[in-house]
Chain A
Amino acid sequence: MSNRTIIPFGPQHPVLPEPIHLDLVVEDERVIEAIPSFGFIHRGLERLVEKKDFQEFTFVAERVCGICSFIHGMGYCQAVERVMGITLPPRADYLRTFWAELSRIHSHLLWMGLVADAFGFENLFMNSWRIRENILDIVEETTGGRVIFGAAKIGGTRRDVTNDKLKEIGRTLKTIEAELHAITDVFEQDYSVQQRLRGIGILSREDAFDLGAVGPTLRGSGEPMDARCEGYAAYRDIEVEPIVESDCDSYARCMVRIREIYQSFDIIRQVLCRMPDGETEIKVKGYPNGEHFARLEQPRGEVLYYVKGNGTKHLDRFRVRTPTFANIPPLLKMLQGCDLPDVPVIVLTIDPCISCAER
């Protein structure tokens, strides 16, 4: 009790590239409690829906986050399409799935780099990002943007990719996957990685479920929940088995993400195999009237879009519950009882995206 102090952590911190501030109540070197405060970058994007018409808003929805941008745009479009009762042509669904999985791979590779940087493994960080760059090249070639894909629109996709190009991409992905094995083997076997990740940031299965954790944070605690099992877009044809680790620590969450990268490569292979021919968009007539909650799986976890239309071109409400927002309470639980030097690593294991959370 005697040595209790409060250490402010963030919003600017060398290893934490996100504007979150934590007041860490520490006793000696041990964190007793963490009180977050954020809201430094609240942009009010949800209210912007009253100024932009519902088709323009796709571009705003996509800019909620810079990393999972495509799935944000896709989720918004999916919610509006459900309200308007639009069924997409199959090729549009498959192309969306293709891009969604590419964005999952690049987001997880980004995270691998960041976490390697957080525990001081610069070489691993650089190598993860080198491989990520190859994925971004594929994205830029097919959609025209590196991280803001701009490829989803209400009623389909804005671009088509020729079948020859898709075959070529399939071959490129095979070489990238082979290269990636060298990096992920380090995460799996390296002594220093294990020392920094194993046994820290424990989040039991009950706590994870009660506090509303989503995505790899929840699956790392042994709860098989993946919103892709909902069967939206092309996932209705492609079986997705939720990837689960039962160790409940930071290492388990790391392993979930690494295994998900390979799962994504596998899904892309299936998508490319089964890619149907035909139109990529249909004409949208009328305005949305009604409401719908769309549930999708982002790299960081489950995301929920709520769209309420009133029959005019401006929507009444657009709401996005981002995965990081749901993962903040579990993070506070993980931080209780950890050592002070482990705080950055634990914060990173939920893959925080505060800009996403504050919208």
Chain B
Amino acid sequence: METPQEIVTIASSDLLAKVQEQKDAGHRLVQICATTLEQLELSYSFMGKEGITHLRLLLPRDQPSLPSITDIYFGAFAYENEMHDLFGIDIRDIRVDYKGKFYKISEPAPFNAGCLIPTRKQPS
């Protein structure tokens, strides 16, 4: 039986309240993922008995900032450090904060840079 999935768009200021709701409902944190489009699109996925909920929020690409959810779900620290290193999202008060040393990468925020949308050519 396939688990139903739904995407709920929320404002970035409501994040902690919405995550707390998921926690109170006894849901499990599945993953956090960021996508670089014109804006950064973040998906926080939670799974309960009745289905998977993806909380979707948008952030500007320039100096994005978010509160950490590690006080609610401790396991989120890995995802949040990953987003900080790869997308340059400044996540405030992570319980285990690597301060950009989670991945040993040579340039800061590589996934947030370069052309992503416009005129991608086929590699010659």
Chains A and B touch each other in the complex, with CB atoms below 8 Å apart: yes
Q: How far is the CA of A325 from the CA of B78 in the complex (A)?
A: 8
- List residues of A (311-326) whose CB comes within 8 Å of B's CBs: 312-314, 316-317, 319, 321, 325-326
Q: How far is the CA of A304 from the CA of B105 in the complex (A)?
A: 24
Q: What's the tally of chain B residues with a CB closer than 8 Å to chain A?
A: 37
Q: How far is the CA of A314 from the CA of B54 in the complex (A)?
A: 24
Which of chain B's residues have a CB closer than 8 A to the CB of A42?
A: 103-105
Query: A328 touching B110 by the CB < 8 A rule?
Result: no
B109 to chain A, nearest CB (A): 12
Which of chain B's residues have a CB closer than 8 A to the CB of A328?
A: 78
Query: B30 touching A212 by the CB < 8 A rule?
Result: yes
Which of chain A's residues have a CB closer than 8 A to the CB of B8?
A: none
Query: Known contacts A44-B110, A329-B74, A329-B77; is A53 also within 8 Å of B122 by CB?
Result: yes
Q: Does B24 contact A (CB under 8 A)?
A: no
Query: Known contacts A35-B96, A40-B104, A321-B31; is A316 also within 8 Å of B75 by CB?
Result: no
Partner of A46, one of B31, B85, B111: B111
- List residues of A (23-41) whose CB comes within 8 Å of B's CBs: 35, 37-40
Query: B123 touching A47 by the CB < 8 A rule?
Result: no
| Tally of A-B Cβ pairs under 8 angstroms | 87
Q: How far is the CA of A217 from the CA of B111 in the complex (A)?
A: 31
Query: A312 touching B104 by the CB < 8 A rule?
Result: no
Query: B33 touching A209 by the CB < 8 A rule?
Result: no
Query: A293 touching B5 by the CB < 8 A rule?
Result: yes
Query: A47 touching B28 by the CB < 8 A rule?
Result: no
Query: B1 touching A317 by the CB < 8 A rule?
Result: no
B44 to chain A, nearest CB (A): 12
Contact residue range for chain A? 35 or more
Which of chain B's residues have a CB closer than 8 A to the CB of A51?
A: 123
Q: How far is the CA of A35 from the CA of B104 in the complex (A)?
A: 16
B53 to chain A, nearest CB (A): 11
Which of chain A's residues have a CB closer than 8 A to the CB of B29?
A: 212
Q: How far is the CA of A46 from the CA of B102 in the complex (A)?
A: 17
Query: B104 touching A212 by the CB < 8 A rule?
Result: no
Q: Does B11 contact A (CB under 8 A)?
A: no
Q: Does B10 contact A (CB under 8 A)?
A: no
Q: How far is the CA of A229 from the CA of B1 in the complex (A)?
A: 6
A161 to chain B, nearest CB (A): 27
Q: How far is the CA of A319 from the CA of B28 in the complex (A)?
A: 19
- List residues of B (87-124) whose CB comes within 8 Å of A's CBs: 96, 98, 101-105, 110-111, 116-117, 120, 122-123
Q: Does A232 contact B (CB under 8 A)?
A: yes
Query: Known contacts A39-B102, A40-B104, A293-B54; is A306 also within 8 Å of B43 by CB?
Result: yes
Partner of B35, one of A53, A316, A325: A316
Smallest CB-CB A-B distances: 10 pairs:
A39-B103, A329-B75, A212-B75, A321-B31, A317-B35, A211-B75, A42-B103, A319-B33, A39-B104, A212-B29
Q: What are 26 A-B contacts defined by CB distance under 8 Å?
A: A35-B96, A37-B102, A39-B101, A39-B105, A44-B110, A46-B111, A47-B111, A51-B123, A229-B1, A230-B1, A230-B3, A293-B5, A293-B52, A293-B54, A295-B52, A302-B30, A304-B45, A310-B117, A316-B37, A316-B117, A317-B35, A321-B31, A326-B30, A326-B75, A329-B74, A329-B75
Residues of A within 8 A of B (CB): 35, 37-40, 42, 44, 46-47, 50-51, 53, 209-212, 229-232, 293, 295, 302, 304, 306, 308, 310, 312-314, 316-317, 319, 321, 325-326, 328-330, 358
Residues of B within 8 A of A (CB): 1-3, 5, 28-31, 33, 35-37, 43, 45, 52, 54, 73-75, 77-79, 85, 96, 98, 101-105, 110-111, 116-117, 120, 122-123
Q: A210-B28, A326-B31, A329-B77 known; 18 other A-B pairs, CB under 8 Å?
A: A42-B103, A44-B110, A44-B111, A211-B75, A212-B30, A212-B75, A230-B1, A230-B3, A293-B52, A302-B30, A304-B45, A306-B31, A308-B35, A310-B117, A317-B33, A321-B31, A325-B78, A329-B78
